[in-house]
Structure 1
């Protein structure tokens, strides 16, 4: 989604095309990490959940506005720690999104990166995917096949976050 600043119909209004480069770059990095890990088919909802969770982590961890200039290898440890199982990732994302929204409101200009990040966050929170119920395996016995066993509806971010974390490990 691209936004234009205030521009007159003859193009002399001084408005410039605002391209959400930070978000697009974060999404590209996340996509490449997941494709390299080959964990899910790129057309699956699980892949999208992993890509969006990882893209949010990458985008929101860029506190200095230097995302397009970073080297992925130097940030892997940060992303691993943010996506770790024992971390309050959902709370961290909510807090960072609120802070960036307040900064964008103060600036008064378009915030296309934030708009795309917010859309990804809404999708991750509001979408539920059917996944194996790992807590329902009696006695910790093995599950015979991928399609065997009980399944539960799980928020997309709860599936995407571990996929993103694993993809970082496999990189």
Structure 2
């Protein structure tokens, strides 16, 4: 049930931000990255009600530019998987989170090359939205989720 609640929260945050249409793969990438962030950062099973808003600062930190979000996800999934094996019982929420991560890793989306403007000194050059590259879905979802949290 925790995974479904994390997806619900992510969906609400992205819909409120109104950054991309909800029918797009970009929206799904943002929702899955936010859901993974929410689910994997919930160490004390506090993913409910009013406490979610208090976790936004942590989610902003985890999704900030330059933060190794994908490494954090891999580490947390491995840790939770080890705990699951030690307990000897399956965790359906973890299975759903792992499936979301596999989708984010394997799916590539054609998107503007957001790093082109960052390669120049002082970042004074705008991003050319006509220059597109194939990008793993999580690389598009992380900044989308980060911005949506700011707008929430």
- SS of the counterpart of 2:20? coil
Q: Equivalent residue for 2:105?
A: 125
Matched, 1:79 2:64: no
Distance 1:135 1:56 in 2: 24
In terms of Rg, which structure is larger? 1
Q: Equivalent residue for 2:133?
A: 152
Q: TM-score, normalised by structure 1?
A: 0.80
Deviations 1:100-135 (A, max 9, x none): 000111111121000000000000011000001234
Distance 2:14 2:109 in 1: 18
Contact 1:136 1:150 survives alignment (8 Å) = no
Q: Counterparts in 2 of 1:9-28, with a 5 A limit?
A: 21-28=1-8
Q: Equivalent residue for 1:163?
A: 144
Contact 1:35 1:42 survives alignment (8 Å) = yes
Q: Equivalent residue for 1:99?
A: 79
- SS of the counterpart of 1:55? helix
Q: Counterparts in 2 of 1:124-143, with a 5 A limit?
A: 124-136=104-116, 140=125, 143=128
Aligned length, in residue pairs: 147
Contact 1:22 1:113 survives alignment (8 Å) = yes
Contact 1:131 1:154 survives alignment (8 Å) = yes
Decide whether aligned partners of structure 1 residues 141 and 159 sit closer, same or farther in structure 2, where only a CA change above 3 A counts.
closer
Contact 1:22 1:67 survives alignment (8 Å) = yes
Q: Equivalent residue for 1:16?
A: none
Q: Tell me, which stretches of 5 or more residues in structure 1 are unaligned?
A: 1-20
Q: Equivalent residue for 1:5?
A: none
